Amino acid sequence: MAAMMLLSTRKLSRHFGGLRAVENVDFDLPEGQIRALIGPNGAGKTTFVSMLCGRIPVSSGDITFAGENVTRLPAHKRIQRGMAYTFQITSVFSDLTVQENVALAVQSRLERGAVLAGEVAKALAKVGLQDRADQIAGDLAYGHQRLLEIAMGLGQSPRLLILDEPTQGLSDGEVNDFIALIKDVAKDTTILLIEHNIDVVMALADKITVMNFGEVIAEGTPQEIHENATVQTAYLGG
């Protein structure tokens, strides 16, 4: 282990009744990496990251974040320790303005009295929404709402940014901008990316983890995964 592990799980499981959505996952994410999490629909990816950030409780196993066992911590405490999660289905505050949305993300980490506006503007500028700051979030085009979602993640200046299918519904041009954005963000943030668009994965990921039927079936560099027979079967046959 060269780099420090920012996030680890051991034997992490989640059962819904008889369904084993996630089963005994051991997972390690070193600080500074961009990790992609891929797998067919229903493989357990979203369940897995939902357990990481505390949206849903674990059935068994442990989660360690920045050297601390966070398995029993409620979501907001994990977020306060430096996780951020952007939703697969856009989940902005649609009745509030763009600026208010990001402000809510920013103020959760700021000390009382610190200046919000600068931080908000910075996050908006990164995703290119600075000109739409006063619009009502619900009125934005879908792609812009996705960008706002990411800006809210950035506004938290997290140590770990979990992006759940961030490029879904974006145009090709927007996807390219997104890739550039994440490369920039990754300079000082560890990123865990659930992504279906394989081009995005190949362009960004340092390492890829593949899940199927709730288990990790492969892990390696993009090149290794590309050549892995099990992965091919999972996608084509499974």
Query: Which residues of this chain interact with other proteins, rule CB under 8 A?
Result: 53, 55, 74-77, 79-80, 85, 87, 91-96, 100, 103-105, 107-109, 112, 152, 156
Q: What is the end-to-end Cα distance of the chain in Å, rounded?
A: 33
Nearer to other proteins by Cβ, of 5 and 75: the residue is: 75
Considering only CA atoms, give the Rg of the chain. 18
Nearer to other proteins by Cβ, of 85 and 178: the residue is: 85
Phi-psi region of 206 (alpha: psi -120 to 50; beta: other; left: phi over 0): alpha
Nearer to other proteins by Cβ, of 156 and 189: the residue is: 156
Least distance in angstroms from the C-beta of 203 to other proteins:
27
Nearer to other proteins by Cβ, of 109 and 207: the residue is: 109
Q: How far apart are CA 126 and CA 161, in angstroms?
A: 15
Least distance in angstroms from the C-beta of 92 to other proteins:
7
Q: How far apart are CA 228 and CA 226, in angstroms?
A: 6
Residues shown for the chain: 238
Q: Which two tokens stand for residue 84?
A: 């951020």
Least distance in angstroms from the C-beta of 236 to other proteins:
35
Least distance in angstroms from the C-beta of 58 to other proteins:
17
